[in-house]
Structures are given as C-alpha cells and as structure tokens.
Chains A and B, each alone.
Chain A
C-alpha cells in the first residue's frame, strides 16, 4: 500500500468518525458511551441508524464518482472529462426521473436499474463518438450536448407530469443528497462500486498505455476496443449506481482525480484507487459541512458540491490549457 493510499485511508476514517460523532442532535458524553454499548439506545439510533449509514453512503457514492472520473479522464486522455461533464450523470438522472414519474418507484430496484440504464446509454454513445473523433474537445462538446439534451428531456418529463407529488420528489432527488439514506442504500450501491472497481483494475495497464495516444497503445499490445468496453461499463455502473442512490452530485468525479494526480506523477493507471478514496473523502467532508452549516433548510449535497466545484472546474480548465500550451 502506498503512502498516498494510506494517508487517504487515515483521512477517510477520521472524516467518517467526525461525521458519525457530529450532527444537529447534540449528544452528551453518557449518551455517546451508551450508543457505543447499546445500538438500540437513543444515542445509538442517531449514531448507527442515521449518521453512520449516511456517512458510509456519502463515501461509497463519492468513491464511485471519483473512480468514474479517473476512468473517463484516462480513457479520453482529457482532464476535463467526468461523468457530469460528459452527460453520464444527466442521462442516469433522466432514467431515474422517468421511472419515478411512471410510478415505478414502488418496485424495488426499478429506479436504480433505470438510472443504470440511462448511464449505460450515455456510455455507449460516448464510446461510439470517441471511436470516431480524434479531438478530445469534440468529445467534450458532445458530452455537454448530451448532458443538455438529457436535462431538457428531464424538464419535459416535469412539464408533462400530471403528478405534482412525483414531480416534487424527482426535483428534490435531482438536487443530490444522502440525507436519510439507510443501510439498505449502502447495500445497494456497494456491490456496484466493487464491480466497477474490479473492472477498473483490469483497465489500469491499458489506461497507462493510452497516455501516448491510441496508435502507440495499439502497437504496444493493447486491445483498444476491449479497454473502451471495460472502462465504459465500469464508469456507467459506478455513476449509475451513485446517481440512483444519491441523485446528481456534480464535480466530485472531475475534481477527485485532479486532487491526487500530481501525487502519482500523472500515471492514469495508478490514479484509480487514490481517486476513488479522494472522491469518498470529499463527499463525506462535503456532507458533514452541508449538515453543520446552520441554515433553516439543510443544504442539499449536490448544491453544495456544485457551488464549490464550479469554480474548481474553471481553475482546472485554465491550468490544463496553460500546461500544454507548448
């Protein structure tokens, strides 16, 4: 285990402990002690049934988004790629919104599968376009268009929906949050993350070879078609499951790889695990801050990350453009 991974794990454990210990409901020392010994006590319920699954959910969703970002950036050799920018999150959200408005929310797993299907469709479209476009900028523009189209269709769904309750439910969910998430949500998203991680490990060598372009990679023994397939499925599964559980949370997928890229000397193959851990850490901390900032209505996690992430995105774009001006 590298020092970077170890450092991120330590930070993550500390952040999760803080997230479990701190919250709106103030607990006394004796209540904390009781909670540790008896999960059914009042304090125990707050810690283990409300805060702990919420923090772990934030971690798993953040890790899934961080991993997706690292995978897509590596595959497209573009520092601006992430599931949000490329429209994967928006199409996953569209899938889930359609399922909710159609009344499928009562069926277990229906919304989640619809989100996964949406992410999968975006993944297939992006792969097709990537194989025909040599320009990374062109692909980003396609992703932006896809994201806009998915957003427009989602708006159309609202427009035509006859159920104000379903519309409000989708709206609230689209803003992105891990509030009131339970261990059941954790149990849903974790296997998806593990599956995406398994696929990601298969792709690390290929992503490294892609650093010098597709033609050099192809003459270095890489099967590009297989790599594209593995990466897109991994990113779609991770993003789709994250969106299904927590709604749309932007910029984590973009920012997490950038936070750790310098620490792995730019190597896209070694970036995957640190990006997942950094994404998880970011979201646990962001959710804790969203909870602790005193507002009448709790800040939605997706709103909070977007407020912080948008300026970061501009900064990354600026630096990426400068770095390669030569």
Chain B
C-alpha cells in the first residue's frame, strides 16, 4: 500500500488543465523528486496528493483510503506538507512554529518535541527567536522543522531548498534522505536536476500536466527526456560527488 497516490488524476486551475491523467505514488522508505519546467504541474501534483487541489477526475489515495472521504484529523496523521510560500503571519518564536505540527499534543509536550526537532536540524539557537527577525534561510529551516515534526508518514515538500545556499541545500537533502531511510516517504519538487539525480530514488518528470517519466534518475533524466521536457541539451558526467549535469539551451545549440 502506498503512503500517497494519485490515480488518473485530473485537475483545473482557472480554466486551464494542470493535471491531465496523472498517476504517481509514494512508498514508505523512498525519496522521490518531482521535476519539470515552471508551470509543468509539480506543485499541483503535491497539492492534489494532499487534497488541497480538488480533482475533476481520478482519485487521490492517502495510505489506502480515498482522500476525499478522510476527516481532517486523519489527514494530519498521514501526511505533512511544506508549501513553497514561506510567509508567516505573526512574529512567533521558532519553537512555537515548529510545535504547530502537533496541534493535538498538550502545549508543554509539543514545545519539548519541537525544541528537539529544531536541535536535530542544527537550529537549536533559533528556538526562542521571532521568525520575522530571521534571514530567509533560517526561516526556511524553521518551516522544514515543522514539516518534519508532523506525525504524517508521507512528507510532501514543495521546493524545500529554494533560496538556500549550496551547503544548506545539501544539509536539507541529507536530512530528508535520513527521513526516508527511517521509513517515511518523502516527495519533493526540485529545480536542480543534478541534486535530484544525486538524492532521489526515483524521479517523476512533469510536462504540461502529464507525467512524462517516472523511473530511477538515470532513466528519468535521459538526454531525450531532457530535450523534450526541459528543452535542454544535456549530458551526465560522473564525478566523485555523483552524477553532474552539463547542459545548454537547445536554441543555443549547445
């Protein structure tokens, strides 16, 4: 049984079809990267899997049950979400933000747990600071800690490394890898194809609301898919750090 799954999912936003018969699944213990050009449907896949984007066709399953019939609390227990949007309405302390992931726990217990998760993400020094006084990177770390702190086994993260420096990107992906190794299912959207190829067990390539590849990285990001889905001429070079994509725009003939 998958932790989360879309079967032949269709969805529209403002009259435009953003998902056109999409089949994707997320299993326990795997890290799946969703890649594609801007507007290809990456965020829509994640939102549909969480029930945030209503389907016009097909079914979204969460741990074996039809998402549309699950009560809200059951959704919390099964899946956690990190949106791309990092706006936090109020200048709350970081530890209180992370504790939001466990709304059903008593306050003191939720705070203790939140402090431990922040520590684990090397953000213990941020615990008592207000989020409005933080840098973008620090705020991203706090929001990631909240998502990791949530009880759901399926973790769906929209651009979790966007705007982070290279070291922070590798750190975040390393922690997500660890979550998958511990048995959670992690699905994240990414723009950096090299990073995706290095960390993901499986890559889902989206183009125009369709899945054009869903396979291990070497297959999913083969040169013909890079050409068709991304408009890139690309070659994979094996380096000590892992596969690295050398690429150029097709229109430039590189």
Chain A positions near chain B (C-beta within 8 angstroms): 77-78, 205, 208-213, 215-216, 218-223, 261, 265-268, 323-324, 326
B96: A residues at CB distance < 8 A: 265, 267
Contact between A220 and B150, CB atoms less than 8 A apart: yes
Chain B positions 101-131 with a Cβ under 8 Å from a chain A Cβ? 101, 103-104, 130
A219: B residues at CB distance < 8 A: 50-52, 75-76, 79-81
10 A-B residue pairs with CB within 8 Å: A212-B146, A215-B47, A218-B75, A219-B51, A220-B76, A220-B101, A221-B72, A221-B75, A222-B103, A265-B130
Looking at the assembled complex, report how far the CB atom of A226 sits from the nearest CB atom of chain B, in whole angstroms: 9
Size category, B interface: 20 to 34
A222: B residues at CB distance < 8 A: 72, 103
Q: Could you say which of A210, A212, A213, A266 has the most chain B C-beta atoms within 10 Å of its C-beta?
A: A212
Chain B positions near chain A (C-beta within 8 angstroms): 47, 50-52, 72-73, 75-76, 79-81, 83, 85, 87-93, 96-97, 100-101, 103-104, 130, 132, 135-136, 143, 146, 150
Contact between A221 and B103, CB atoms less than 8 A apart: yes
Chain A residue nearest to B132 (CB atoms) is A323
Chain B residue nearest to A271 (CB atoms) is B90
Contact between A210 and B103, CB atoms less than 8 A apart: no
Contact between B143 and A212, CB atoms less than 8 A apart: yes
Give Cα distance in the complex from A236 to B101, angstroms.
30
Give Cα distance in the complex from A198 to B80, angstroms.
31
A215: B residues at CB distance < 8 A: 47, 50, 52, 81, 83
Looking at the assembled complex, report how far the CB atom of B83 sits from the nearest CB atom of chain A, in whole angstroms: 6
User: Given A212-B89, A266-B91, 6 more contacts at CB 8 Å?
Assistant: A209-B100, A210-B89, A216-B81, A218-B72, A219-B81, A265-B130
Q: Could you say which of A211, A267, A268 has the most chain B C-beta atoms within 10 Å of its C-beta?
A: A211
B73: A residues at CB distance < 8 A: 221
Give Cα distance in the complex from A304 to B92, angstroms.
33
Contact between A221 and B100, CB atoms less than 8 A apart: no
Give Cα distance in the complex from A261 to B91, angstroms.
9
Looking at the assembled complex, report how far the CB atom of B63 sits from the nearest CB atom of chain A, in whole angstroms: 14
Chain A residue nearest to B134 (CB atoms) is A326
Looking at the assembled complex, report how far the CB atom of B85 sits from the nearest CB atom of chain A, in whole angstroms: 6
Looking at the assembled complex, report how far the CB atom of A130 sits from the nearest CB atom of chain B, in whole angstroms: 14
Contact between B75 and A211, CB atoms less than 8 A apart: no
A266: B residues at CB distance < 8 A: 90-93, 130
Chain B residue nearest to A262 (CB atoms) is B91
Contact between B81 and A77, CB atoms less than 8 A apart: no
